[in-house]
Amino acid sequence: MEFPRHLFFTKDHEWLSDDSDEFSVGISAYAVEQLGDIVYLELPAVGDNFAARESFGTVESVKTVSDLYMPRNGEILAVNEEVMQDPEIVQDDPYGKGWLIKVKATAADTGNLLDALSYQKYLVQEEG
């Protein structure tokens, strides 16, 4: 399973491209593996604002429906329309074409982000 070193992760299994003022958000390869076949995504509209750790949408798979959580406070700048039409893109390329939203940070809040190595350690602990 891949966890690119340049990304940051949350304990809810979202990733973000960096900790600057504008960033992309998606779900980790671990989350994709746990979900199974993704069949539907519900994502916010451009201009919507969310607080860190607030649900910004859902991902539906053949197994379950899971909330997506905002990794930082921010305003939605763009939504990946391709993944809305073809959710399998997230499964095929979760860290590239499978990004979900682009966000402009509205306040500094990076305290709960994990680097790739810390995220891998977290997963090992969770799986016990």
**Predicted confidence (pLDDT) per residue in 23-46, tens digit:** 999 999 999 999 999 999 999 999
The helices-and-strands tally (H runs, E runs) of the chain is 4, 10
Query: In terms of C-beta density within 10 A (0-12 exposed, 13-18 middle, 19 or more buried), how is residue 122 classed?
Result: middle
Look at residue 110 and tell me whether its pLDDT is greater than 70.
no
Look at residue 78 and tell me whether its pLDDT is greater than 80.
yes
Look at residue 111 and tell me whether its pLDDT is greater than 70.
no
Mean pLDDT, the chain, as a whole number? 92
> pTM, whole model, 2 decimals?
0.92
Domains, the chain, ordered by start: 8-108 (2.40.50.100)
